Amino acid sequence: MTRVFNFSAGPATLPEAVLQQAAAEMLDWQGRGMSVMEMSHRSDAFQSILQTTLHDFRDLLAIPSHYRILFMQGGAIAQNAIIPMNLVGRKAKPAIIDFIHTGYWSQRALEEAQKYGHVNIAASSQASHFTSLPALETWKLSSDAAYVHLCNNETIHGVEFQFDPDTRTHSGKVPLVADMSSNIFSRVINVSKYGVIFGSAQKNLGIAGLTFAIVREDLIGHALPSCPSAFNWKNVAESDSMFNTPPTFAIYMAGLVLQWLKQQGGVTAIESRNIAKASLLYNHLDASDFYNTSVAKNCRSRMNVPFFLKDPSLDDAFLTGATQRGLANLRGHRILGGMRASIYNAMPTEGVQALVDYLRDFEQSH
């Protein structure tokens, strides 16, 4: 068996040690004679998995005690509706929802939020085709918005906020809601700058099926009467993420990923490694006349690196050669074309080095 270096944007590569452990425990989890998939979510065995996962989750991100960690289903795309359903009720109708419009995922979230309130685009980088981020000083935030939404890492456009914007100083007490689907656990964050941090698990936290929402306690309990019960954060919080049957195997996998992350030295250590991996790739792309990147240097994502061959007629040959070298899923998202290398926490440095070696060899032979 040979495993490839998988640059998929999501579902994405997992640490090999995690897959090994899941395989070893597949038929018999710790002497229970059954797999995690076959256990009752109310059993002691699963409860210990859930509690350990929540503990490590809180510990690794230093989440203060007045935030709840909710495990849900439906992905980040469902949260795009669940968030307004839980937050606009704090304001008179029609509630104002501020958006920082920085690419495909903030655009999708904004379209969904329009069903629940009046969306105000407080800042947008559309004029630059989403190759930059709007400077904080230019954001036109509403003082009485229900919340401000931003996408911390635009997985398709490859732009990332590598700091935690302090919107409280700009607009009083408007909570900042951040989609961190594709960069959670990749860098140290200051959770107290946010009202809500949410995302899907299948990029940096595990497998599809699990959604996380880190919610400040005072923002829980304001759901619209029409909000489905399973999507009401209050129900999820009060039942310890067991209002409905949780995605048990996905929670178990997230737990294994977080244990692996601890063994790597935690978020601080993985952040340094992520910076080194991203620099290795961007430096090579910058130094070459054969390849292009489009994103401004001060906001390049460390997780998702879109790049282009200057001669797009070579794209197919590039991808075929990459596959032959065991470098998989480099084709860019259809809306941008070109290539994209997703280099999440689980992508080893050797994978990025193998890509850089291939970039050099392909350039030389063409």
Ligand X SMILES: *Cc1c(COP(=O)(O)O)cnc(C)c1O
Is 151 one of the binding residues for ligand X (CB under 6 A)?
Answer: yes
At 160, phi and psi to the nearest 5?
-140, 135
Q: How far is residue 335's CA from residue 327's CA, in Å, rounded to a whole number?
A: 22
Is 56 one of the binding residues for ligand X (CB under 6 A)?
Answer: no
The distance of closest approach from Cβ of residue 167 to ligand X in the complex, given in angstroms and rounded to an integer, is 19
CA angle 18, 22, 24 (to 5 degrees): 115
Is 77 one of the binding residues for ligand X (CB under 6 A)?
Answer: yes
Return the residue of 181, 186, 232, 329 that touches ligand X, per CB under 6 A. 181
The distance of closest approach from Cβ of residue 199 to ligand X in the complex, given in angstroms and rounded to an integer, is 7
Is 266 one of the binding residues for ligand X (CB under 6 A)?
Answer: no
Q: Which DSSP category does 176 fall into?
A: E
SS3 25: coil
For residue 330, what are its two tokens? 């480099």
The catalytic residue among 203, 233, 260, 277 is 203
**Residue 203 among the catalytic residues:** yes
Is 182 one of the binding residues for ligand X (CB under 6 A)?
Answer: yes
Return the residue of 72, 76, 220, 352 that touches ligand X, per CB under 6 A. 76
* Nearest residue to ligand X on Cβ basis: 75
**Residue 179 among the catalytic residues:** yes
Q: Which is nearer to ligand X, 105 or 260 (CB)?
A: 105
Q: How far is CA 280 from the centre of its chain?
A: 22
Binding mask 101-120 for ligand X (x = CB under 6 A): ----x---------------
**Residue 59 among the catalytic residues:** no
The distance of closest approach from Cβ of residue 10 to ligand X in the complex, given in angstroms and rounded to an integer, is 5
Q: Name residues whose C-beta falls within 8 Å of residue 1's C-beta, 6 or more positions apart in sequence.
A: none
Strand 67-72 relative to strand 211-216: parallel, antiparallel, unpaired?
A: antiparallel
- Give whole-number Cα distances, 112 to 82, 139, 162, 213, 214, in Å: 10, 21, 26, 18, 20
Return the residue of 162, 200, 294, 342 that touches ligand X, per CB under 6 A. 200
Q: Which DSSP category does 180 fall into?
A: -
Q: How far is residue 15's CA from residue 206's CA, in Å, rounded to a whole number?
A: 9
Q: Which is nearer to ligand X, 230 or 314 (CB)?
A: 230
Q: How far is residue 19's CA from residue 253's CA, in Å, rounded to a whole number?
A: 9
Contact set with ligand X (CB under 6 A): 10, 75-77, 105, 151, 155, 179, 181-182, 200, 203
Q: Return the active site residues.
A: 105, 179, 203
